[in-house]
A and B are shown apart, each in its own frame.
Chain A
Amino acid sequence: MIEGISIYEILTLTSILFFIGVYGFITRKNLISILISVELVLNASVVNFVVINKYLYPDMLQGVFFSIFIIAVAAAETALAVSIIINLYRQITSVEVKDIETMKY
C-alpha cells in the first residue's frame, strides 16, 4: 500500500476517471473517440480491482488475475473495433456515428 494514502482517495480517483469516460462515451460523435472513452472506463475498473486486492486482502491474488483478464479482453476488443472501423471507412468513407446505418439490419 502507499504510505499516507488511504483506500478512499484512490477509489475517489478511479470513480472520477470512470465518469470522465462515461461523459466522453455520451458526448463524442466519432467511433475512435468512443473507443478511447471505453478504454478509460476499463482502466478505472482495473485500478479498482487491484487496489481493493492490495488494501483489503494482501495475501490473495484474485484481483490481480481479474485485472490481467480485463487487460486481455480490452486488447482483443480494441483490435476487433479497429478492424471494424477500417472496414467501415473503406465502404462509406466516414467514421461518424450518424453516418453508420449499414450495421442496423
Chain B
Amino acid sequence: MERYIFYIVALIMIVSAIASVSSRKMLRSVIYLLFVLAGIAGIFFLIDYNFLAAVQLTVYAGGIIVLIIFSVLLVHHIEMKLEVEKTSKRLVTAIACLIGIGVFVSTIYSYDFKVTDISTTTTTEDIGLGLLSYEAGGFILPFEVISVLLLAAIIGAIVIAKGKKLESNNEETI
C-alpha cells in the first residue's frame, strides 16, 4: 500500500516540478511549486518524521508560497506571459541535465548502502532535546546562530523593501 502511495506522490512531484520550470504563466508555476512542496511533506509523513512534515507544510506551503505569490502579484500582470529562452539553449541545457541525472543515478546504484532494519519513531521531544543539548553532538550553538540569522534577515528585508534612502539618493544624483 505505502509503496503505491510513494509512486503516486513521486509521479505528481516530478510532473509538477517540470510544469513549474516550464510554465509560461508566473502564478501557475508558483502553484505547481506548491504541489511539489506538499509532495515532499507527504514523503516525510511516509518515512515517519511527522514534525519535519509539519514544519515543511507550515514554513514552505504556508509561508514561502504566500510570500512568492505576493511578490508575483506586486510586480506582474496576471495575464503577462514570460519570455522563453531560445530553443537551442533549452535543448543544450536539457541534455546536460539528463547527463547529470545519468551520472548521479549510476553513482547511487553502484554504491552499496548499508541499510539497517531497525525502525524507531522519532518524537518531537527527541528533536527538541537534541537541538538544545550542549553536550558533545548537541546543536545549541547552530540553533542560536540561526536565530540571529533570522533576526538579521527580518531587519534586512524591512530596510531593503522600504528603500526610501536609495530613492532620495537617486534624486540627488539626477
Interface of A toward B, CB cutoff 8 Å: 1-13, 15-24, 26-30, 32-33, 35-37, 39-40, 43, 46-47, 50-51, 54-59, 61-62, 64-65, 67-69, 71-80, 82-87, 89-91, 95-96
Interface of B toward A, CB cutoff 8 Å: 1-3, 6, 10, 13-14, 17-18, 20-22, 26, 29-30, 33, 36-37, 40, 43-44, 46-49, 51-52, 55-56, 59-60, 63-64, 67-68, 70-72, 74-76, 82-85, 89-90, 93-94, 97-98, 100-101, 104-105, 108-109, 113-116, 118-120, 122, 126-127, 130-131, 137, 139, 142, 146, 149-150, 153-154, 156-158, 160-161, 163, 166-167, 170
Which 9 pairs, one residue from A and one from B, show the smallest C-beta to C-beta distance? Answer: A24-B21, A76-B153, A83-B161, A4-B3, A15-B104, A83-B157, A19-B97, A89-B75, A83-B160
Chain A proximity of B137: nearest CB distance (Å):
8
With the chains together, A87 CA to B52 CA distance in Å? Answer: 33
A59 contacts which of B20, B74, B120 (Cβ < 8 Å)? B120
Known interface pairs A46-B40, A87-B160; A36-B20 also in contact (CB < 8 Å): yes
Contacts across chains A and B counted by CB atoms under 8 Å: 224
Main SS of the interface on chain B? helix
Known interface pairs A64-B49, A83-B160; A39-B64 also in contact (CB < 8 Å): yes
Known interface pairs A12-B105, A50-B49; A17-B115 also in contact (CB < 8 Å): no
With the chains together, A86 CA to B97 CA distance in Å? Answer: 31
B74 near A89: Cβ-Cβ < 8 Å: yes
Residues in A with CB closer than 8 Å to B113 are 7-8, 55-56
A79 near B127: Cβ-Cβ < 8 Å: no
A27 near B163: Cβ-Cβ < 8 Å: no
With the chains together, A73 CA to B145 CA distance in Å? Answer: 11
B122 near A61: Cβ-Cβ < 8 Å: yes
B52 contacts which of A68, A80, A82 (Cβ < 8 Å)? A68
B150 near A54: Cβ-Cβ < 8 Å: no
- For B56, B64, B118, the residue with the greatest tally of chain A CB atoms inside 10 Å of its CB is B64
Residues in B with CB closer than 8 Å to A47 are 40, 43
B146 contacts which of A1, A30, A40, A73 (Cβ < 8 Å)? A73
